[in-house]
Amino acid sequence: MSISIKDVKKGTYVFLRNGWKAKVEDNTVNQHTRVCTVYGDYTEMGSVYTTDIVEAQMNDGSWQVVTHTPAQLKAAQTRTGWGY
């Protein structure tokens, strides 16, 4: 099963493409970035590209794969060309 990135709300725990866990801290759904607290080598808060969010934890504790909009996928492809 999968959910849309638009269904990922404030307070949702997510897994990032690099394997780190994060907590979403904003409710902006029409952007290419979300503000998250990232639990990696250090705990930091900052912007995360939505295409780097790969799984989200649902209210029942299960993890769902996150799908992205075509515009977000195109922006990710452009960033890859820039080396990000």
Q: What is the pLDDT of residues 39-73, one digit of tens each?
A: 999 999 999 999 999 999 999 999 999 999 899 99
The boundaries of the domain holding residue 58 are 2-82
Q: What is the pLDDT of residues 11-48, one digit of tens each?
A: 999 999 999 999 999 988 778 999 999 999 999 999 99
Global pTM? 0.90
Listing DSSP states for 2-71 in one string gives EEEGGG--TT-EEEETTS-EEEE-----SSSEEEEEEESSSEEEEEEEGGGEEEEE-TTS-EEEEE--HH
The CATH number for 32's domain is 2.30.30
pLDDT at 31: 81
Number of structural domains (the chain) is 1
